[in-house]
Amino acid sequence: MRRFFMVGARRLSYLDFGGPGKPLLALHGHYNEAAAFASLAAAVAPQWRVIALDQRGHGESDRADHYERDGYIADLLAFHQHLDEHLDIGPVAVLGHSLGGVNAYQFAARHPDKVSALIVEDIGAVVDCDWSFTNRLPGVAPSREALTSALGVSAPYLECAFRQTDRGWGFSFDIADTVASQKALNGDHWDDWTSVMCPTLLVHGTRSDELTAAHAEDMVTRRADGVRRVELPAGHVVHHDVPDRFAEAVAAFLSGPH
């Protein structure tokens, strides 16, 4: 079910996939939105109830005046407070992919009382985004088919964000906003990563062009307090490439001893 809440004058949207399970907050990456986790939600139910946020500037959430790190983290704090008021969630498991992964571990580091377990999907403690792909995205296409054709092999990864307007077919995110967000995501985030205290699963796609095996291993080494690493035969979007194996890894981690 789609729901909304306010952060100041901005409206943020999220999908609550429902069920009797324990809440699992899910945070998407750039070019995506909450709907990207529909497959995961079905796979981990009924033990887990996935609640996925359309982060600022994505999906059905409002655009923001900036996409800096502190803004994303403030949104997550407001999201947690909103859910706590309505569902009494307390400390909760948080999963994030790419942009969402950095947001998740920074939130866990800065608000440790809010996060009971952390799952980071294919993103490092040092991020060096290349936004050339973003700048090459088509602005508006005359049809869904034309947009799919223009994107080529990338289309399946972006299709949950396709939107039709009176101008044609485009995306639920703004291209300039995405570039700003990617620029703000870049940097050295080791201090946040090493400050996380809760049990953590790092999921790494072996064909990823974003997270190298060496960097993933370094992330485990620098957090000698219970970080688990899982390698899966996938690219950067592990939950899309191998959804069943990704869901199995998530469920096993969440249900296992911490």
How much is the pTM?
0.97
Domain assignment of residue 167, yes or no? no
Q: pLDDT tens digit string along 120-145? A: 999 999 999 999 999 999 989 999 99
The CA distances from residue 97 to 82, 177, 205, 216, 250, in Å, are 22, 18, 11, 14, 12
Range of the domain at 247: 2-137+174-255
pLDDT of residue 172 exceeding 60, the answer is yes
Domain assignment of residue 146, yes or no? no
**Beta carbons of 171 and 203 less than 8 angstroms apart:** no
Residue 256 pLDDT: 80
Domain assignment of residue 57, yes or no? yes
Average pLDDT along the chain: 96
Mean pLDDT of 79-89: 97
Q: What percentage of the chain carries pLDDT values higher than 90?
A: 97
Domain assignment of residue 51, yes or no? yes
Q: pLDDT tens digit string along 195-207? A: 999 999 999 999 9
Mean pLDDT of 170-174: 96
**Beta carbons of 134 and 175 less than 8 angstroms apart:** yes
The number of distinct structural domains making up the chain is 1
Domain assignment of residue 155, yes or no? no
Domain assignment of residue 145, yes or no? no
pLDDT of residue 257 exceeding 90, the answer is no
Domain assignment of residue 237, yes or no? yes
Report the CATH number that the domain containing residue 119 is assigned in CATH.
3.40.50.1820
Domain assignment of residue 183, yes or no? yes
Tokens read off for 235: 């690219």
Residue 226 pLDDT: 78
